[in-house]
Structure 1
Amino acid sequence: MEAIGERLATGKTSVIQDMFKEYEGVAGTSRCYAYINSVECFTSRLLFERTLNAWSGHVPCAENRFSNYARCDNLVDFVNNVRDLLGSKHGATYYLVVDQAERLRDRGPMLLTTLLRLSELTGVDISVVLISNVVWDKFRPRHGGAADPVSVYFPYYSKEQILQVLAKDCPLEEPAGFFLTFVDAVYEVFHRNCVDLNELRHLVAMLYPKFVQPVFEKQATRNEFGRLFKLCQPYFTAASERLYLREISTSEWQKHSTVASVKNNPEDVATCIYHMAENNDGMELPHYTKYLVIAAYLASYNPSRLDVQYFARGKDPSQKRKRKGGALVAAVDEDAGARDRQQLLGPKSFAIERMLAIFYSIIAEPVDSAVDVQTQIASLITLRLLTKTSAGERLDGIKCKCNVSLEVVRGIAKSVRFDVDRYLYNFK
């Protein structure tokens, strides 16, 4: 079976988990299903070992030195271990639930096919449930070999349903009608750019204290909704550009927005919010992800014809190229007024392959083979730090633009001790 939702947060995972918990209570005390999230299990080995742990009831802990039920490095080991573990339990049905299953298409050509034929290969009654935001046709194995699953579609919530879910987060001490009016305003502001219900809930939780703050400061009453919305407008703007894009963490937002007050000049409030990320040491991103953001910015603002000059190994990017006669031809020393600077023209589209070439050129140490660079790129697209400018679901072959400001990139580069200014063309 495959559960498909057209967008994020349509209740697929919650419904399926609750259904299996009810089924498990009726079927008996043994664990009959294994729930695997492909984001957490970012390698095949993690997926295999966590599945065996769930079916066997094994829990890694200090007593067993946090070991797993069995070590599985490949598909053959996994099939053999499943046969040994469950082969003697006749009459029982076991389930493997894989969330965000579309990520399995990047784990090798045979993984998804083997999982779908696991019952046939092991002789055990095993059903596989795939939870995905992508239709089956987009990640079906190209070589075939597996039957198509039965698809169950979860439609996206309507506005009324979204408001009903968001209204459940109303604080106990707040009027439900007033909170619902605020939730409706948040939906109207953010729903075109934010389609994830979980993100909307996060924005509501962060913005509501600032929206209701003027009431406690005697600046407005609950009946003056228009005035309250106007006073909170700088926070709405900052949330869309800082909080939703994760340029700052939730704790940083709460820290800085608590200091700001509607008693201040609205411009001062906006300035306070917009400067939140200045001392954030380049955002709370993993080490390699920071270099990916830097590479994306360089790919967006540097002409591709100068990649060899800036990023070829062993070359100094600040060194000027010369003709045979000694005349300078480097463009970096041209008069700034003679042409538009790159930062004024905005980010340009670039191919993912070009960004990866820059990434592997600027990073000092070899990239660990366990690091899934493709997953990190997908996360940057999800966080809107990268914006797709071409169609296609697979990362290879698509084009993107960098959606990060120069100040943020400089902060990221500073956190990893990388001099980004040396590699930027015409940014003096």
Structure 2
Amino acid sequence: MANTLFELPDELIASLVENFPCRDVLIKALATLLYPRAAPCRNLVIHGTEATGKTAITTALLQAFTEHSSASSSPAPSIYFSHAIVKSAECVTARHLYERTVGLVADALKWDGATGRCENIAALTVELTKMLKYAEKEGDDKTPRRFVLVFDGIDRQREAPATLLPALARLAEIIPNLTTVFILTAPAPSLLRLSSPPHLYFPPYTKAQYVAVLSRAPELPAPLPNTTTPQETADLWARFVAAVHDSLARPASRTLPRLRRACLALWPRFTAPVAAGTHRAREFSKLLVAARGYFQDESVLEPGILSRRPPTTTTTPTPSQPNTPTKPTSVNHSTPSSTDLSALLPPTARLLLIAAYLTSHNAPRHDVTLFSTWHQGRGRRRGGGSSAVRTRHPRSKHRKIARKLLGPGAFVLERMVAVYAALVREHDPHRGSEDDNNGGNNGNGGSNGGAKGAAATVDADVGMALATLASLRLLVRVGGAGASTFSSATGGGSGGGGGLGGADMDRGGKWRVNIGWEVVRGVGRSMGIEVEEWLVE
């Protein structure tokens, strides 16, 4: 290769383009900005989303340039080229990053001298200057030299000072033969605090590029049985990859590795009719119709996350006479789902959720009839609330939709807490009777006693349970003070226990329950409460 200006090693670039299809323009641009005989820059920012080939292409290109420089070292080298790649994910602190950078640069240069401790960016500059700028090299001084220092994932560096990236970008001003490459996801404006550093964007793959990458020879599956030719298998694979991309690219396979994994998982199921001999490889439409269920449900790709454990069956013998054969009886013990609220929420939160549902679906005028001890007495009967209300307020003949099927209404926090206190007595009668007795000794009758009993059940766990339900969006703030800031508060606001501030705990604030009838019925039965008995039809 002649030593001329702006000359790229075409044979190296051609091999990289073959290994990384659909990235030929980016490979040529990256080679131009890094090769010593092209247009090397001081700082380069490479950015793009996950799995777009940033790190893989940069590593392969730098490795090819280094091997090319070592191969041309005799009799006279055409270039001096070395590189080091520092992965921020492997560095715990900024000091760890500095010392690892010095160690990798020393290994790349085969440095025989001693390296000092690097506790800050100033010490890093001294060590790199000593190794790169003042190192004695053999050969012609006119031979271009270039050292590329890559910081991969530097935007996710832990315990990084605010001036880390601008300080690393100034290293090229002190060391003339140094190029610093920053690989990150989304660069901020004025990232390096320099005037117009070059940026190289790696865009996500398109559908045509996905199909082209996965249709290469290394990615093709083995030929199918039943006299299917390799060309028919390749054509079927290309159309299959396009179908998987159209159905699962957005919900389950947004990147190239995930799409490859999805194709490999669905390919045996998709080609099962071909292996069985019921369809041919050219009948893509019939194969797609037969396997449409796999393309509609992404749970096939991750069955361990979305699947429910099957019920366990145990066999118990029934008592029988001595001469009578024993007949086994199956008893099913169903295990609760991992997403069941009754298994995930504590008892206080479950009672509050039931109280919120009742408060949302019952009118306020029915609260005294349903929950007051002045109407119901000390011991509440099962179904007494509904039957009492039906006696005084008969159900309208024109209503055709049950109230539990209607949308929830808004309620104030103070009313929900009062209903919660009544539910505590229903769930734990012994505790409720003690509270009523303690309150009834005041001489004010049952009304004050019931109030004191209700107040005694509201403990410190109620605030934490409310914060938990609000953070899970099971309770939604719809009105009152602080309602406009509720969305930001539940996402991690300054309030304690899940994002509830002082305004959200206002007893006059309006809320709405965010669950349906099937969910709250299961939660109620887990606490021994039939929610339907407390609803007014």
Q: Normalization by structure 1: what TM-score?
A: 0.52
Looking at structure 2, the residues matched to 109 and 205 of structure 1 have their Cα atoms a distance apart, in angstroms, of 44
Higher-RCO chain (CA-CA 8 Å, sequence separation at least 6): 1
1:126 alignment counterpart:
178
The alpha carbon displacement at 1:165 in A equals: 0.5
- SS in structure 2 opposite 1:95? strand
Looking at structure 2, the residues matched to 342 and 119 of structure 1 have their Cα atoms a distance apart, in angstroms, of 51
- SS in structure 2 opposite 1:32? strand
C-alpha change, 1:333 and 1:118, in structure 2 (3 Å) is closer
Bigger CA radius of gyration: 2
Q: Is the 8 A contact 2:52 2:204 kept in 1?
A: yes
Q: Is the 8 A contact 1:186 1:204 kept in 2?
A: yes
2:107 is aligned with 1:57: yes
1:157 alignment counterpart:
205
Aligned sequence identity (%): 24
C-alpha change, 1:343 and 1:118, in structure 2 (3 Å) is closer
1:287 alignment counterpart:
none
C-alpha change, 1:83 and 1:56, in structure 2 (3 Å) is same
C-alpha change, 1:80 and 1:208, in structure 2 (3 Å) is same
Q: Is the 8 A contact 1:212 1:228 kept in 2?
A: yes
Amino acid at match of 1:119: A
The alpha carbon displacement at 1:213 in A equals: 2.6
Looking at structure 2, the residues matched to 43 and 241 of structure 1 have their Cα atoms a distance apart, in angstroms, of 39
2:232 is aligned with 1:191: no
2:91 is aligned with 1:41: yes
1:370 alignment counterpart:
none
Looking at structure 2, the residues matched to 234 and 332 of structure 1 have their Cα atoms a distance apart, in angstroms, of 49
The alpha carbon displacement at 1:79 in A equals: 2.7
Q: CA RMSD in A?
A: 5.2
2:452 is aligned with 1:325: yes
1:2 alignment counterpart:
45
The alpha carbon displacement at 1:55 in A equals: 1.5
C-alpha change, 1:212 and 1:83, in structure 2 (3 Å) is same
- SS in structure 1 opposite 2:134? coil
C-alpha change, 1:77 and 1:342, in structure 2 (3 Å) is closer
Q: Where in structure 1 are there 5+ consecutive unaligned residues?
A: 60-67, 253-277, 283-292, 310-317, 335-340, 360-405, 407-420
Q: Is the 8 A contact 1:203 1:244 kept in 2?
A: no
The alpha carbon displacement at 1:156 in A equals: 3.5
2:179 is aligned with 1:179: no
Looking at structure 2, the residues matched to 116 and 8 of structure 1 have their Cα atoms a distance apart, in angstroms, of 24
How do residues 9-408 of structure 1 correspond to structure 2 at under 5 angstroms? 9-28=51-70, 32-41=82-91, 43-57=93-107, 72-89=118-135, 92-104=145-157, 107-120=160-173, 123=175, 125-137=177-189, 140=191, 144=193, 146-168=194-216, 169-174=219-224, 175-193=233-251, 194-218=253-277, 220-238=279-297, 240-241=298-299, 243=301, 247=305, 325-328=452-455, 330=458, 351-354=490-493
Q: Where in structure 2 are there 5+ consecutive unaligned residues?
A: 1-43, 74-79, 225-232, 308-336, 357-412, 418-426, 436-449, 463-468, 477-486, 499-518, 520-525, 532-537
C-alpha change, 1:38 and 1:205, in structure 2 (3 Å) is farther
The alpha carbon displacement at 1:34 in A equals: 1.4
Looking at structure 2, the residues matched to 95 and 37 of structure 1 have their Cα atoms a distance apart, in angstroms, of 14
Amino acid at match of 2:88: S
Q: Is the 8 A contact 1:97 1:128 kept in 2?
A: yes
Deviation sequence 1:29-55 (CA, Å, 0-9, x none):
787211233334353244323322322
Amino acid at match of 1:8: E
C-alpha change, 1:2 and 1:230, in structure 2 (3 Å) is same
C-alpha change, 1:236 and 1:172, in structure 2 (3 Å) is same
Looking at structure 1, the residues matched to 299 and 460 of structure 2 have their Cα atoms a distance apart, in angstroms, of 31
Looking at structure 1, the residues matched to 91 and 303 of structure 2 have their Cα atoms a distance apart, in angstroms, of 25
